[in-house]
């Protein structure tokens, strides 16, 4: 005993001796495009947040939390980041070393971590954070928890920091403009068991593996927490990224990958913070929210009147007003919760409230600025009106211009006289890149100089301007009123409905109502049919009598297979994977489950129909349209499994079964969809006719669908008979001639 104890203390001693400095990896690139067009010219981490670049908040917090070594990973605009770090003195802090790693070909956090692993600079547990995080939490407790867990269970590789968000479901979703997050956590060990952050999976249900409950007798599911994107990681995390070279996104790939993978058994834990602040700037809306939090001092000590990391001191006045030395006209009114930077001039009768104005701005008279963010050296001439806008450095607004809510003006844009910029517009001197990267999360790492040449290819919408463009590159357009300079970016498809969610403008009431409505629609989808969860294709609870029971075991395998195929298909749909790749994947599934082509076809068709069912629809015809569009889109995939008439029949039978059991919504449109399948050349007429023949001897209940499609079959038969007749007639004639 005694010896053991001695050994233990000695081990602890050696632990103590081998103590490595606390390290942090700071990703100075968000690998996202949410802040475009601004991020085309300046990296996101250098965007001013209440007049201080975001990265300063992160670094200042890391320093105060006792981190000794920060490795800043720079990718896009790396030179700008490094020169900022130099000029602001972060490289020369005592007891706080900041080093940079530069990369020009990393397109994701995964790439970044793989590169850092290669460099071999991480010695122990480290904090993984991105450079757009604002926090004032203390790391002591979470680090200790992490280390203790690690001692007991070497598989506990990561601790995520989470925070309870507001209690009302509406604010919860709208506050930071982030996607909805669902997490399942073991209430005792705080282990993370499930993580779903993509709200687009508009399934109305969360699917938890039943195995989760065999280990834990209770799980708590959260919709009311936010992920702070502050992770305490063990060094294994880096090697995991290297082992799984396809991990890109920290959450979507890494966290979910670890949760799904039960072979290695790595575990992720959570740490909930209560009174301290932690949030990440993910989009314009969170930019707005976090700016306000800073002004309202939730992030103390990182507030405008406390000096940290190179901000200029301002003075806090009453009503949350911060003013540096400002030249201000007597009649100018500065409202509550406003920050005004040094050297800014404000004219008479100008009203500013709930806004941040940077340094060296010139603001004329009779201007109203409400809820907006003006960066440095902005010039605003008289009689302008700004509502909930972001205005970058060097922008000139000529007199009488109006910015409607949600406008973003990128660097040095000029808005012409009396011009009204419509809401949610984004204006930049750079043209919108025409080809959107298929993976919206990945931003191209720009050249080291930061900005590429403004491309000369012209968007269709700007086609008129092309001639002007070739003449004068520096004055790209005058679509911003007389004297205006800049391109108005068209809002790309798909993101349009998301625009209001991410913009800094307050969410219009009707959008909110709409959002609530969609959640209700989800609900409707589920409750439509009293006893069934149609979206899930679940067994009807009513029919669990006995008949399904005996063959359940034998069906397990095929159910697994169907699930796998469905998951593959859904992934393909959501991530736009090419058909060929999907076919490859399904083929490998087919081999591993030892299935026939017919079963593949059935399973794929099943997942298609299920997807159609899950796409919101209000009427049967709309549902039919959904189904048809999905079928048309993935025709090739389906057809590659339909070489044979038997396989086509299998599809019809699968469909029949669905209509009867899991997806009764299709019942009324069976014939229609069948016709479309025929029309799209997916199912040939022989298959339909053979199906009809097979059903001839079946009992009536089995024939409902044959009856429903009677007309169509009739038509097919007539058509084929006609053909035959023609042929036959010809022969006869020939015979006659003989």
Cα 340 to Cα 250: distance, rounded to the nearest angstrom: 37
What is the closest distance, in whole angstroms, from the C-beta atom of residue 590 to other proteins in the complex?
23
CA 709 → CA 172, 334, 609, distances in Å? 49, 72, 18
Using DSSP's 3-state secondary structure scheme, residue 248 falls into coil
Q: How far, CA to CA in Å, does 112 sit from each of 117, 119, 124, 136, 659?
A: 9, 11, 18, 25, 49
Q: Which of 347, 341, 386 is nearest to 368 (CA)?
A: 386
The C-alpha atoms of residue 316 and residue 313 are separated, in whole angstroms, by 10
> Applying CB under 8 A, which part among 341-349, 366-374, 525-533, 643-651 lies near other proteins?
525-533
Neighbours of 28 (CB within 10 A): 30
Q: How is 87-152 classified by DSSP, letter by letter?
A: HTTGGG-TT-EEEEEE-SS--SHHHHHHHHHHHT---S-EEEEETTEEE---SHHHHHHHHHHHHH
Indicate whether 187 belongs to the interface with other proteins (CB under 8 A).
yes
Binder of other proteins out of 121, 212, 342, 491 (CB under 8 A): 212
Q: Is 526 in the site for other proteins (CB under 8 A)?
A: yes
Q: Which is nearer to other proteins, 222 or 412 (CB)?
A: 222
Q: Nearer to other proteins by C-beta: 493 or 549? A: 549
CA 435 to chain centre: 19
Terminal CA-CA length for the chain = 113
Judged by beta carbon, residue 442 or residue 660, the one nearer other proteins is 660
| CA atoms of 327 and 383, how far apart (whole Å) | 19
Q: Decide: is 517 part of the binding site for other proteins (CB under 8 A).
A: yes
The residues, ordered by sequence, that sit 6+ positions from 310 with a Cβ below 8 Å of its Cβ are: 52, 56, 88, 89
Tell me which stretch binds other proteins (CB under 8 A): 97-105, 446-454, 490-498, 526-534.
Answer: 526-534
Q: Which stretch binds other proteins (CB under 8 A): 52-60, 94-102, 535-543, 708-716?
A: 535-543
- Is position 218 an interface residue for other proteins (rule: CB under 8 A)? yes
Site membership for other proteins, residue 264 (CB under 8 A):
no
In the complex, minimum distance from the CB of residue 545 to other proteins, in angstroms, rounded to a whole number? 6
To the nearest 10 degrees (0 to 180), the angle between helices 670-679 and 710-737 is 40
Q: Verify binding: residue 618, other proteins, rule CB under 8 A.
A: no
Q: How far apart are CA 226 and CA 726, in angstroms?
A: 71
- Residues in the interface with other proteins (CB under 8 A) total 52
Spatial CB neighbours of 158, under 8 Å, sequence gap ≥ 6: 231, 232, 233, 234, 237, 255, 258, 268, 269
Closer to other proteins by Cβ: residue 196 or 431: 196
- Is residue 274 involved in binding other proteins (CB under 8 A)? no
* Binding test (CB under 8 A) with other proteins, winner from 2, 94, 530, 735: 530
Write the CA distances from 348 to 152, 216, 381, 535, integer angstroms: 67, 66, 12, 61
Query: Of the candidates 102, 179, 180, 272, which one interacts with other proteins according to CB under 8 A?
Result: 180
Tokens read off for 341: 């930077």
Q: At closest approach, how far in Å is the CB of 672 from other proteins?
A: 27
Give the residue with the Cβ less far from other proteins, 246 or 545: 545
The piece of 197-205, 326-334, 421-429, 593-601 that touches other proteins (CB under 8 A) is: 197-205
From 138-146, 396-404, 514-522, 670-678, give the range in contact with other proteins by CB under 8 A.
514-522
Q: CB–CB of 326/342 below 8 Å? A: yes
Largest CA distance in the chain: 116
Report the nearest approach of other proteins to the CB of residue 500 (Å): 17
Q: Say whether residue 558 binds other proteins (CB under 8 A).
A: no
What are the residues whose beta carbons fall under 8 Å from the beta carbon of 586, sequence distance 6 or more? 565, 568, 600, 604, 637, 641
Contact between 222 and other proteins per CB under 8 A = yes
- Candidate segments 36-44, 207-215, 378-386, 717-725, binder of other proteins by CB under 8 A: 207-215
Q: Is 570 in the site for other proteins (CB under 8 A)?
A: no
Asked whether position 169 contacts other proteins by CB under 8 A, the answer is: yes
CA distances from 483 to 19, 274, 396, 419, 468 (A): 62, 51, 10, 10, 14
Minimum distance of other proteins from residue 623's CB (angstroms): 20
Q: Is residue 358 a contact partner of residue 340, using CB atoms and an 8 Å limit?
A: no
CB of 273 to other proteins, least distance (A): 16
User: Measured from the CB atom, is 204 or 405 closer to other proteins?
Assistant: 204
Decide if residue 567 touches other proteins (CB under 8 A). no
Nearer to other proteins, 194 or 691 (CB): 194
616 is a site residue for other proteins (CB under 8 A)? no
Q: Three-state secondary structure along 423-461?
A: CCCEEECCCCCCCCCCCCCCCCCCCCCCCCCCCCCCCHH
Residues 405/422, Cβ–Cβ less than 8 Å: no
Q: Does 544 bind other proteins (CB under 8 A)?
A: yes
Member of 220, 581, 619, 621 binding other proteins (CB under 8 A): 220
Does residue 179 bind other proteins (CB under 8 A)? no
- 557 is a contact residue toward other proteins (CB under 8 A): no
> What is the crossing angle of helices 670-679 and 645-660, to 10°?
160
Residue 540 or 717 with smaller CB distance to other proteins: 540
738 in contact with other proteins (CB under 8 A):
no
Q: Which is nearer to other proteins, 179 or 685 (CB)?
A: 179
Instruction: Establish if 219 lies at the interface with other proteins (CB under 8 A).
Output: yes
Q: Take residue 57 and report the two structure tokens written for it.
A: 């908040």
Name the segment binding other proteins (CB under 8 A); options: 105-113, 534-542, 680-688, 691-699: 534-542
Regarding 329 and contact with other proteins (CB under 8 A), the answer is no
Between the alpha carbon of residue 408 and those of residues 35, 313, 388, 414, the distances in Å are 10, 27, 9, 12
Least distance CB 643 / other proteins (angstroms): 34
CB atoms under 10 Å from CB of 64, counted, come to 16
Give the C-alpha separation, 444 to 76, whole Å.
8
Bond from prior residue into 95 cis (ω within 30 degrees of 0): no
Interface region with other proteins, contact rule CB under 8 A, candidates 59-67, 94-102, 198-206, 358-366 = 198-206
Output 207 or 327, the one with its CB closest to other proteins: 207
Nearest-10 Cα torsion for 708, 710, 713, 717: 180
Residues 83-142, interacting with other proteins (CB under 8 A)? none
Given 105, 275, 531, 701, the residue binding other proteins (CB under 8 A): 531
> Which among 135, 21, 28 has a CA at the least distance from the CA of 80?
28
CA atoms within 13 A on the CB side of 638: 26
The answer to whether residue 516 forms part of the interface with other proteins (CB under 8 A) is: yes
Our finding on whether 206 is near other proteins (CB under 8 A) is yes
Interaction of residue 523 with other proteins, rule CB under 8 A: yes
Cα separation, 374 vs 48, in Å, equals 10
Residue from 519, 558, 587, 625 touching other proteins (CB under 8 A): that is 519
Identify which of residues 173 and 432 has a Cβ nearer to other proteins in the complex.
Answer: 173
Q: Contact between 171 and other proteins (CB under 8 A)?
A: no
CB of 134 to other proteins, least distance (A): 24
Binding flag, residue 685, other proteins (CB under 8 A)? no
Nearer to other proteins, 474 or 531 (CB): 531
Interface with other proteins, residue 730, by CB under 8 A: no
Q: Which two tokens stand for residue 32?
A: 């996202």
Residue ranges in contact with other proteins by CB under 8 A: 167-170, 172-173, 180, 182, 184, 187, 203-210, 212-213, 216-224, 513, 516-517, 519-520, 522-524, 526-527, 530-531, 533, 536, 538-539, 541-542, 544-546, 548-549
């Amino acid at each position: 005993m005694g010896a053991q104890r001695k050994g233990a203390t000695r081990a602890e001693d050696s632990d103590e001796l081998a103590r490595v400095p606390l390290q942090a990896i700071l990703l100075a690139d968000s690998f996202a495009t949410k802040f475009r067009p601004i991020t085309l010219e300046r990296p996101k981490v250098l965007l001013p947040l209440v007049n201080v670049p975001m990265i300063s908040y992160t670094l200042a917090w890391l320093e105060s939390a006792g981190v000794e070594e920060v490795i800043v990973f720079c990718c896009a605009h790396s030179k700008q980041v490094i020169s900022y770090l130099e000029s602001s003195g972060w490289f020369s802090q005592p007891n706080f070393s900041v080093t940079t790693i530069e990369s020009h070909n990393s397109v994701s956090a995964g790439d970044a971590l793989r590169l850092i692993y290669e460099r071999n600079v991480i010695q122990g547990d480290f904090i993984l954070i991105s450079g757009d995080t604002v926090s004032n939490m203390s790391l002591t407790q979470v680090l200790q928890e992490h280390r203790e867990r690690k001692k007991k269970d070497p598989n506990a590789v990561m601790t995520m920091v989470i925070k309870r968000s507001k209690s009302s479901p509406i604010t919860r979703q709208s506050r930071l403009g982030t996607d909805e997050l669902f997490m399942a956590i073991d209430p005792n060990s705080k282990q993370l068991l499930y993580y779903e952050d993509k709200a687009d999976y508009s399934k109305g249900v969360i699917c938890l593996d039943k195995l989760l409950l065999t280990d834990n007798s209770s799980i708590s599911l959260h919709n009311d927490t936010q992920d702070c994107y502050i992770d305490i990681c063990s060094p294994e995390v880096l090697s995991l990224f290297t082992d799984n070279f396809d991990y890109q996104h920290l959450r979507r790939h890494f966290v979910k990958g670890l949760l799904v993978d039960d072979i290695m058994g790595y575990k992720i834990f959570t740490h909930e913070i209560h009174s301290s602040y932690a949030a990440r700037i993910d989009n314009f809306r969170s930019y707005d929210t976090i700016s306000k939090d800073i002004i309202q001092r939730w992030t103390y000590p990182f507030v405008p009147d406390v000096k940290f990391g190179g901000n200029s001191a301002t003075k806090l006045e009453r009503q949350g007003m911060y003013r540096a030395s400002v030249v201000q006209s007597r009649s100018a009114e500065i409202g509550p919760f406003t920050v005004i930077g040094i050297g800014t001039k404000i004219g008479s009768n100008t009203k500013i409230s709930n806004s941040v104005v940077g340094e060296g701005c010139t603001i004329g008279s009779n201007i109203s600025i409400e809820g907006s963010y003006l960066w440095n050296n902005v010039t605003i001439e008289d009689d302008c009106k700004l509502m909930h806008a972001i205005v970058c450095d060097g922008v000139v607004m000529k007199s009488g211009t109006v910015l409607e809510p949600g406008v973003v003006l990128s660097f040095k844009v000029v808005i012409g006289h009396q011009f009204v910029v419509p809401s949610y517009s984004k204006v930049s001197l750079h043209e919108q890149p025409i080809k959107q990267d298929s993976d919206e999360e990945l931003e191209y790492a720009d050249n080291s100089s930061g900005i590429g040449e403004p491309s000369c290819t012209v968007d269709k919408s700007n086609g008129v301007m092309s001639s002007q463009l070739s003449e004068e590159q520096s004055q790209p357009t005058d679509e911003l009123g007389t004297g205006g300079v800049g391109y108005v970016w068209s809002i790309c498809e798909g993101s349009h409905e998301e625009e209001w969610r991410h913009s800094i403008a307050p969410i219009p009431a009707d959008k909110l109502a709409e959002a609530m409505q969609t959640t209700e629609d989800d609900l409707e989808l589920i409750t439509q049919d009293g006893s069934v969860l149609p979206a899930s294709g679940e067994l009807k609870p009513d029919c669990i009598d006995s008949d399904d029971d005996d063959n359940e075991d034998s069906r397990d395998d095929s159910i697994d297979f169907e699930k796998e195929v469905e998951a593959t298909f859904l992934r393909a749909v959501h991530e736009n994977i090419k058909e060929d790749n999907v076919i490859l994947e399904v083929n490998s599934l087919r081999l591993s489950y030892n299935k026939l082509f017919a079963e593949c076809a059935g399973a794929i068709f099943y997942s298609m129909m299920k997807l159609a069912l899950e796409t919101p629809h209000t009427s049967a015809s709309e549902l039919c349209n959904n189904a048809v569009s999905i079928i048309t889109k993935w025709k090739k995939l389906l057809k590659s499994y339909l070489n044979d008439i038997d396989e086509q029949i299998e599809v019809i039978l699968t469909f029949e079964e669905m209509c009867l059991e899991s997806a009764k919504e299709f019942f009324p449109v069976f014939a229609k969809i069948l016709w479309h399948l025929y029309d799209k050349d997916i199912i040939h007429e022989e298959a339909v006719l053979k199906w009809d023949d097979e059903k001839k001897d079946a009992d009536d209940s089995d024939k409902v669908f044959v009856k429903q499609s009677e007309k169509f079959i009739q038509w097919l038969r007539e058509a084929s008979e006609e053909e035959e007749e023609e042929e036959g007639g010809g022969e006869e004639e020939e015979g006659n001639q003989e």
